[in-house]
Chain A
Amino acid sequence: MERDLVLAASGGSREAFGSLVSASIDRCYALAFRMLRDPELARDAVQGALLGAWEDLPSLRDPDRFDAWLTRLVVNACYAEARRERRWSAKLRLIPMDQPNTPDTALSIADRDELDRAFARLPIDQRAVVVLHHYLGLSLADVATTLDIPAGTARSRLHHAIRQLRAAIEADARPTTFTEDRPA
């Protein structure tokens, strides 16, 4: 079914591409949000990726690779958004205040805050590997294929990222405080 839509969209059918957008936009947004940790940047990244997908779809040789191809476009769009974001010397960080404050036995609020901070410090290419591997569940080989990087590079990025995240959690002697990141 998706293959037919990809072929039709590749041939210029906006309706078919619209169906592909509807089917994949949630996955794209979830991926972009986890890489960028900012709803506005994620929104921009998804928009850029999907509009770019429409323009470049005729260049996709294997319609069965659409999902992986689109994932790469989203990741690349996230890279671009992250580069854009770095230009700002100050950026208010959004905290989802309206989310239910459900207790979690695995991660304390302090742990989550440490992960938030540590993840934000990771280079965007390391974040991509973490999210593709630990959120989308891709194997490292598939991560490497998706990102078009050698498998060793994917492994190395994951290793460095996990080491930094783990170090942040294990050195969590700091008191929990949200005040400095709260929007004004």
Chain B
Amino acid sequence: MNKDRPFDVALESWLDDGPTTAPAGLDREIQDQLTGRRQDRRPFRTTRRFLMSTRMAGAAAAVVAALVIAGGAYWLGGQGNQSPIGSDGSPTPQATITAQASPSPCPPTAGGPCAVPSQLPTAVPVTDLCLPSDVSARITRWEGATGHRIATVELTNVGSSTCQWPTLDQPQLVDGSGAILIAGAAAPVGDVLNLAPGEVLTTLVQDANYCRQDPVAPVTVAFVMPGGTGRVVAAPVSSTDLDGVPPCNGAAGSPGDIEMHPWSR
């Protein structure tokens, strides 16, 4: 290092030496994704907060009821060692409707086809959600990046009525045999988009690090809806397509990674 120059100045010179403009197209890409994104998500946050508060209220009520019952039993000279919470002391019916993240339905292995088990109920109003038979998904293209593969996916409402589609699902990379090559994280309960008949949503699914046995063509992606209301498998680009299989960047057998952007119009 040039010793006659202060370290801070050298550091700032090093920091200055880098791009000062965003990559071409990023501005457009972001603005395109704004379409269909809503700003105000307070109703959903309110719902979640409400569910949390009712759970906490239920727990508090149970504690109060237990204290009252225990105190009453003690006061009346009942057995002090009886269970403080009687059958009527657990007023927590709300617990049956709490929102819970769906567990990953399948391990990220390249075994045989993995059935998606039924999942827990969620706060999403199920009656408004699209059924898998209401929609059709297809991959329009795969792109490669450093260690990643990115699918552009379209989802169309092929039903006859407007329904709601969650902005996030659990993405999976699946092969022609139905095996789940990589399973993403279960989607949290969150926003939904209204999807009119014929309307199309798009998303990007990015996967990386597939270090297991060779998959069977064609490789495509699937989406497990929050709340276990269904799973949609996107039509592959072609019947022989293997472009979505990412390179192995880790140790043999190490788990892969798959994520999706929120669906947008």
Contact = CB atoms under 8 A, between A and B. Distances in A.
Question: Do A and B come from the same complex?
Answer: yes
B88 interface: no
A93 B27 CA distance: 25
Contacts of B87: none
Contacts of A29: 19, 21-23, 26
B249 to A, nearest CB: 5
B35 A55 contact: no
B30 A162 contact: no
Contacts of B8: 134, 162
B19 A33 contact: yes
A165 B39 contact: no
A28 B22 contact: yes
User: How many residues of B sit at the interface, in one of the four size bands?
Assistant: 35 or more
Contacts of B1: 107-108, 111, 169-170, 172
A66 interface: no
Interface stretch (B10-18, B105-113, B229-237): B10-18
Contacts, number: 124
B250 A30 contact: no
A105 B4 CA distance: 11
A123 interface: no
Contact of B26 (A25, A104, A111): A25
Interface residues of A, number: 51
Interface in A43-76: 43, 46-47, 50-51, 54-58
Interface in B19-38: 19-23, 26-27, 29-31, 33-35, 37-38
Given A46-B26, A55-B41, A92 B146 contact: yes
Contacts of A57: 39
Contacts of B31: 14, 18, 21
29 contacts: A14-B31, A18-B34, A21-B31, A28-B22, A30-B20, A39-B19, A40-B148, A43-B26, A47-B33, A55-B37, A55-B38, A55-B41, A88-B208, A88-B249, A89-B250, A89-B251, A90-B249, A90-B250, A105-B2, A106-B5, A106-B13, A107-B10, A107-B14, A111-B1, A111-B10, A115-B14, A135-B15, A135-B16, A169-B1
